[in-house]
Structure formats: structure tokens, C-alpha cells
Chain A
Amino acid sequence: MFVQGVMMGHVALGVLGILLAVALFMDVLNVSEKNIARIRKLSLAVSVLIILAYVVGGYWYVVYYGQDRDIIKAGQWAWAHNYFMEVKEHVFFMMLLLGIYLPIAVYRNLHPAEKKNRSLVLVVCALIILLGLFMEGAGGIIGKGLTMGLLGGE
């Protein structure tokens, strides 16, 4: 149960991070004195959620994934590991760095009076959302690869 909890925790943290990044994107489009405090809190929340998804997912990957990997590679969807997991585990670093950079851009470069500055934060948000959606899709394919492996290649 602990292993499943760790896995689901990783997924939940990632999904929540993406959802809050979408909320942040919309808030930044309408940046003003009224919502700047919420924007700053949201940027921190997105950053913390992505870092936690990295730590929890990394722990699961390093400690538990080896058994799943062997099952996937022995099944008919071996490419679920050979391609999607390999790409996912390395593309994730870009999302992590964007997540760490997000509050820096928000706190230091986003001012309600200077709306031209918001495009940098919007770009970082959009990249986090797109990379996050790829992470979720790749995770689903890897999970299906495990199912195919357990079904004995049928």
C-alpha cells in the first residue's frame, strides 16, 4: 500500500502543480494590484508542488521502479519504458528548473503597473503546463506498459 501511495502522491502532486499553473497563467493575464498577492502565492505553490513531485517520484523511481521496469521490458509494450520513461525522466529536469525559476520571475520581474513584463511569466507557466501534460501522458503509457507486461504480452 505504501508503494501505491508514493506513486499516487507523485501523480497527485504533478496534477495539482499543472492545475495551479493554469490558474496562475489566467491570473497573470489579468495582473493588477488586486491579484498580485495571489499570483505570488500561486507561483510559490506551483514551485513547491513540482519540487515535491520530483522528490516523491524520484524516490519511487530509484527504490521501486526496477521491478516494474523488468516486467514492462519483458512485455509487448517494452517501448513504454525504453522510450517514454527514458524521455520522461530527463525532460522532467527542465520542468523542475522552470518550476524553481517561476517564483523568481514572479517576485522579481512582475509588476502590476508594468504589464509588458508579464509575458516572461506567461511563457514559463505555459511551458510548465505543456511539459506537465506530457509527463501525465507518458506516465499513463508507462502504467499501461506495466499492465501489458503483467498480461504476459497478450
Chain B
Amino acid sequence: MENPPMDKYSAGFGLSLVVANFLNAIILIVKEKNAAVMSALKAALGHHWITHGLIVIAVFIILGFIFSIMKLETNMNACKIQKYIIWSVIISGVIIAGFFLPNLKVS
């Protein structure tokens, strides 16, 4: 099957979505394991979750524009991008759900 062509913004922001998904899971683990990082995230904007979210959104948008001007669409296609997106959601979701699994104990 012929791979469908791709627009530069769809490719760029698609790839930045993949990176931001993994970054989301990495920030979670680092902040939960490192009290100094958690304190820094709280101090930055008043709540660790707000800072965490804005970092992820900012990285998604900034990398999206950077990747878009890198002509990724010449090497990427919609099939590749959608596979990367699916796997990033599955892997990041498993990391997040797995990280908190020890908390799932009935008192």
C-alpha cells in the first residue's frame, strides 16, 4: 500500500506529540522520585501539576514548530506518525499506570 503524503505541520506536531508524551511520563517519575525537583516544580508556579503541564504543553508547541521547519515530511508519512503516536500513548500510559501500581492496595 502506498504511504499517504504528509503536510509539514502534521508531521512536525505529530512528532512533537510523541516526544511530549514521553516527556510527560519522564517528568512524572523524576518529580515523584526526587524531592528537590518536586519542590522546584511547586515553587515555580505554585503547584507541581501546573508547572508539569505547562512544561509539557510548551515543549509540544515549541518542538512542533521546530520539527515543522525541518522538512520531516520528506522522511515521514502518516502511517509512521500514527504508529509513533499510538506507541507513545501506550508506553507512556503503561509507565504512568505502572508507576502508581504500588498505591493500588485496599486498606
Contact = CB atoms under 8 A, between A and B. Distances in A.
Contact of A89 (B49, B56, B104, B106): B49
B85 A123 contact: yes
Contact of B56 (A61, A86, A97, A108): A97
Interface residues of A, number: 34
A51 B58 CA distance: 14
Nearest to B86: A123
A91 B93 contact: yes
A127 B84 CA distance: 13
Interface in A101-117: 101, 104-105, 108-109, 114, 116-117
B36 interface: no
B10 A79 contact: no
A62 interface: yes
Interface in B9-35: 9-10, 13-14, 17, 20-21, 24-25, 28
Contacts of A117: 4-5, 78
A116 B103 contact: no
Contacts of A101: 13-14, 17
Interface of B: 1-2, 4-7, 9-10, 13-14, 17, 20-21, 24-25, 28, 46-47, 49-50, 52-53, 56-57, 60, 78-79, 81-82, 85-86, 89, 92-93, 96-97, 100-101, 103-107
Interface of A: 54, 58, 61-62, 76, 78-79, 82-83, 86-87, 89-91, 93-94, 96-98, 100-101, 104-105, 108-109, 114, 116-117, 119-120, 123-124, 127, 131
28 contacts: A58-B53, A61-B49, A62-B46, A62-B49, A79-B107, A83-B100, A86-B100, A87-B97, A90-B28, A90-B52, A91-B93, A93-B53, A93-B57, A97-B20, A97-B56, A97-B60, A108-B9, A108-B10, A109-B7, A109-B10, A109-B78, A116-B4, A116-B78, A117-B4, A117-B78, A120-B78, A120-B81, A127-B85
